[in-house]
Structure 1
Amino acid sequence: MKNVSSIERPAVRSARRLAPGDVVSPRAVETITARTTRLPDPESLVHLQFRRFAGCPVCNLHLRSVARRHDEIRAAGVVEVAVFHSPVEAMLPYQGDLPFATVADPDKKLYVAFGVESSPRALLDPRAWPALVRGALTRRPAGPDEGGGGLGLPADFLIGPEGGIREVRYGRHADDQWPVEELLRLAAVHR
């Protein structure tokens, strides 16, 4: 297994993508509610998901589906951690009531460390359009696009208690992430 250093890398589009078998260095991250969460979690699988910006309608629609099934996800031995490249103040109205850890990463340090990129195809891909419409009809209007998040691509990582990446998905467009059913299936395989 390769070790992925927690040393900051320059923020470049060609950041190294991680793959199953890579090992992430232990780190503590502060949530938007001023709690600390550990990556990896020594007792559980971690579903580390990178979203776009705090007011992203696609991201928030997806996270509400995760929140509705949070008890089921926890029962499967998975800890949820969602990362946005927005500041805490922008995230609190949108993610402040979620039942799992949400992390503000406005400097995109975690994004770079995990090789999560941006691309114009995030919104130009027609596969993202239905979620954009559904998300726009949710209870909160879309917020500002802090820091170019409109072009951000999502990413999902399933990380084992030892820090090994078990599964990874780098999104090809704004609505390309693991649905809850896929997450539960992967958790069952890697428990």
Structure 2
Amino acid sequence: MKLSPGAVAPAFTAQTILGKPVCVPAAGETSLVHLQFRRFAGCPVCNFHLRTMALRQAEIEAAGVRQLIFFHSSADEMRKYQAQLPFDCIADPQKQHYRAYGVETSWRAMLHPRVFWSGMRWVLSTGRFYRRAENGIAGLPADFLLDARGRILFCRYGQHADDHWEVDELLRLAGHAATRPHAGDAGVASA
């Protein structure tokens, strides 16, 4: 079941691929939390997207946003691709968190022209191509922006593999969230 803005996000405690514990909502949290649900660890589209996010991580942090990235791959597989990223990455090979947040799969994931071009940019810029697609290639991305209490301010369920928030959109949404008196009040919407 898909979640909507204004709802309380499913709480969780997890461990990053580097062994750091993370909680949502976190005690004493004051920042917004951007949850990204990506596809498999070697996905060229996902990795190109995260590379653009990493290049602008200072701006994202300055906007008061903490990022948590999920992949439906094992931690061992993720460390090959995501260990160097400047944000917390979480392995969810059983898709427990994907189900809790209503993140789906579809064969349409690969059928949009943007998917091909994003994937090619990753391959051409890094020379890397995945050898393994844990849990398949049909995963769809999803983005959630949560307030410090764990309420969903904005969300987006991708229609194809390259359908996600770009940095400028995330910063715009974080700016809108900063002007709200309380998360979950009227006016919270999906993006």
Q: TM-score, normalised by structure 1?
A: 0.88
**Aligned pair count?**
175
Once residues 114 and 85 of structure 2 are traced to their aligned partners in structure 1, the CA distance between those partners, rounded to angstroms, is 26
- Using a 3 Å threshold, how does the CA distance of structure 1 residues 47 and 143 change in structure 2: closer, same or farther? farther
Once residues 55 and 131 of structure 2 are traced to their aligned partners in structure 1, the CA distance between those partners, rounded to angstroms, is 22
Partner SS for 1:49: strand
Once residues 46 and 33 of structure 1 are traced to their aligned partners in structure 2, the CA distance between those partners, rounded to angstroms, is 19
Partner SS for 2:163: coil
Tell me what 1:110 maps to: 97
Partner SS for 2:50: helix
Tell me what 1:12 maps to: none
Deviation at 1:37, TM superposition (A): 1.3
Equivalent position amino acid for 2:51 in 1: R
Task: Please give the per-residue CA displacement for 1:41-94, whole angstroms capped at 9, x wherever unaligned.
Answer: 421100000000000000000000111111110110000110000000100010
Once residues 46 and 143 of structure 1 are traced to their aligned partners in structure 2, the CA distance between those partners, rounded to angstroms, is 31
Tell me what 1:65 maps to: 52
Once residues 137 and 144 of structure 1 are traced to their aligned partners in structure 2, the CA distance between those partners, rounded to angstroms, is 19
Equivalent position amino acid for 2:150 in 1: G
Partner SS for 2:115: helix
Tell me what 2:159 maps to: 172
Equivalent position amino acid for 1:32 in 2: I
Tell me what 2:41 maps to: 54
Once residues 54 and 21 of structure 1 are traced to their aligned partners in structure 2, the CA distance between those partners, rounded to angstroms, is 30
Task: Please give the per-residue CA displacement for 1:118-164, whole angstroms capped at 9, x wherever unaligned.
Answer: 0000001223221122122231222311111x100000000111111
Once residues 123 and 98 of structure 2 are traced to their aligned partners in structure 1, the CA distance between those partners, rounded to angstroms, is 25
Once residues 143 and 54 of structure 1 are traced to their aligned partners in structure 2, the CA distance between those partners, rounded to angstroms, is 10
Once residues 120 and 156 of structure 2 are traced to their aligned partners in structure 1, the CA distance between those partners, rounded to angstroms, is 23
Task: Please give the per-residue CA displacement for 1:97-138, whole angstroms capped at 9, x wherever unaligned.
Answer: 111100000000000000000000000122322112212223
Q: TM-score, normalised by structure 2?
A: 0.88
- Using a 3 Å threshold, how does the CA distance of structure 1 residues 146 and 25 change in structure 2: closer, same or farther? closer
Tell me what 1:37 maps to: 22
Tell me what 2:63 maps to: 76
State the superposition RMSD in angstroms: 1.1
Partner SS for 1:137: helix
Query: Pick from 124, 134, 153: which aligns with 1:146?
Result: 134
Partner SS for 1:93: helix
Q: Does 2:92 correspond to 1:92?
A: no
Once residues 168 and 104 of structure 1 are traced to their aligned partners in structure 2, the CA distance between those partners, rounded to angstroms, is 21
Q: Structure 1 unaligned runs (5+)?
A: 1-15
Asked if the contact 2:10–2:101 (Cα under 8 Å) also holds between the matched residues in 1, the reply is no
Q: Does 2:131 correspond to 1:134?
A: no
